[in-house]
Structure formats: C-alpha cells, structure tokens
Amino acid sequence: METAYIKSPLGITRLEGDEKGLSSIRVMDEFHDQLLTQTVPKVLEDVVSQLSDYFDGTRKGFQLKLNPQGTDFQKKVWTALQDIPYGKTISYLELSKTLGNVKAIRAVAAANGKNPLWIVIPCHRVVGSDGSLTGYAGGLSRKKWLLAHESPSQQQTLF
C-alpha cells in the first residue's frame, strides 16, 4: 500500500492506494507540514492530479480505479453515492429509496459515514430530509465547504 500526504483546501490530505486502486482519502486534523510527500508514488499520481483539478474547480467527476474496503452493503451504498450529480444533494431517505429499502435509512446513513473515499465518493452530497447538514465524518465545516464549492450559484463579484 502506497501513501501520500498532500495539501488541500480542507487541510492535509492522506491518500492510500495500490495497483488495485485508491482505498482511502482522509483529511488530517493535526499534521506537520514537513511530513508532506515530496514525491508522489506512481500509483497515486492520477489521484493527486484529479483532486487538484477538483479543488481548482475544473473537475466535476473522477475517473479513478477505486478499491474501498467495506461490507457488501456499504459498497452498495458507496456505489449509489457516485450517482449523485456534482452540485446536487439528496436526503438519506431518498438514498434509501434509491437502494430499494426505505426502512434501511439508519443503515444507509451508517454506511455513508464509513465511506473511506471522501470527495471521490461524494458522501458530502447527502443531507437531512429538511436540507440540514447532518453528520459528516470530516466535520460539518468541511461538508459545508464542499457543498459551497460545488454550488452552481457561486456568489459573483459586482465589479
């Protein structure tokens, strides 16, 4: 397993993956800049490039080989998350309906919270039924930032 630490607008981001694909993206709460990766491992170069494009606003989707580890149910939820369009949100209830079991809403929410590939598998696009920014493993401030970053109605300057 290869690892890289890069800077992102959300903080220092830890990437893990190998030839089977990207397995983890984590934003670190505490980190020392001197530990940033100087040379990105070859298997993570495309990940770094696509994330950079996303944060620059020039990428709205990812074409990466993914290898998240989880249960079959979690993987089913994570696959469904990838169908949520950039700049859009859905509720946990809507996601449960998409998966064919409205009664599984708590299990769907739990699987969403275990997503190891933040941003690439867009769990931040799932909100409460009332539109509220409910739980996010990376913290609500990061979820708010990601949703604002993807918002089609960004504030324009007047001059």
Give dist(CA 63, CA 120) in Å, integer: 9
Neighbours of 6 (CB within 10 A): 16
Full set of structural domains in the chain with CATH? 2-56 (3.30.160), 72-150 (1.10.10.10)
67-94 tens-digit pLDDT: 999 999 999 999 999 999 999 999 999 9
**Phi (first) and psi of residue 113, to 5 degrees:** -70, -20
| Alpha-carbon separation of residue 77 from 106, 152, 156 (angstroms) | 12, 25, 35
Sign of CA dihedral 144, 44, 36, 52: negative
Cα angle 69, 43, 87; round to 5: 65
- Give the pTM: 0.89
Catalytic residues: 123
Predicted confidence band at 157 (pLDDT cuts at 50, 70, 90)? low
110-145 tens-digit pLDDT: 999 999 999 999 999 999 888 888 877 778 889 999
User: According to the model, what pLDDT value does residue 18 have?
Assistant: 98
Among the listed residues 78, 70, 57, the one whose alpha carbon sits nearest the alpha carbon of residue 151: 57
